[in-house]
């Protein structure tokens, strides 16, 4: 069914497309081929990613009991969105409006008391993603949250941790899963 749909779209729309070319007919064939490829991807189960940002913190974050803390990032893994500024390290700022998937991950030190929480906070006002779990006994408490949310240019997201262990507690370091914030633009 997908193949029939793609062929039908190609037959109906490609002959009517208007293209602007400098180098003649060969470029037009290439452009049409690229358009067919885009239609194939759009009609498949694959998603087209329009921009990615992934940052993490390379040192331990100390937390205080019952006090939210914004993670201060110091390492850019990638940032094709141009959303992260090391001079303002606790947030990712949206540079282009669109639909975004945001994921935050934390790993709390071993302590079996209380809860552990991770929040995605929009513009220091709204929590758009949150997960709370009971503390693990005898191991790190790994926790993540995510959100798909329409954001506008100028919005910003902070990754926030919270714990109720009864005292100070560290958030561990691991660039793969702890103190990591990822932002992916999935649609305009």
The sign of the torsion formed by the CA atoms of 49, 52, 96, 117 equals: positive
Domain ranges of the chain: 2-42, 51-187
Residue with tokens 């560290």: 170
Residue range 44-75, pLDDT digits in tens = 455 567 889 999 999 999 999 999 999 999 99
pLDDT score, position 49: 73
pLDDT score, position 121: 98
pLDDT score, position 112: 96
Top-tier CATH class for 51-187: mainly beta
pLDDT score, position 27: 44
Counting as low any pLDDT under 50, the low residues of the chain are 1-31, 33, 36-38, 40-41, 44
The whole-angstrom separation of Cα 18 and Cα 7 is 19
- Report phi then psi at 45, rounded to 5: -85, 5
Q: Which token pair is 93?
A: 């700022």
pLDDT score, position 84: 97
pLDDT score, position 176: 76
pTM greater than the 0.85 cutoff: no
């Amino acid at each position: 069914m997908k193949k029939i749909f793609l062929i039908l779209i190609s037959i109906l729309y490609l002959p009517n497309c208007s293209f602007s070319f400098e180098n003649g007919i060969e470029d037009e064939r290439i452009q049409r081929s690229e358009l067919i490829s885009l239609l194939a991807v759009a009609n498949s189960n694959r998603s087209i990613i329009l921009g990615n940002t992934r940052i993490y913190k390379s040192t331990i974050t100390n937390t205080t009991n019952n006090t939210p803390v914004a993670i201060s990032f110091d390492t850019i893994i990638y940032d094709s969105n141009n959303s992260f500024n090391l001079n303002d390290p606790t947030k990712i700022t949206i540079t282009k409006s669109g639909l975004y998937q945001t994921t935050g991950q934390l790993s709390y030190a071993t302590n079996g008391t209380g809860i552990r929480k991770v929040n995605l906070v929009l513009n220091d006002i709204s929590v758009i993603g949150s997960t709370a779990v009971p503390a693990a006994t005898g191991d790190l408490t790994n926790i993540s949250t995510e959100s798909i949310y329409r954001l506008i240019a100028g919005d910003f997201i902070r990754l926030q941790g919270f714990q109720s262990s009864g005292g100070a507690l560290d958030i561990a370091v691991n660039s793969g899963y702890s103190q990591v914030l990822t932002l992916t633009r999935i649609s305009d």
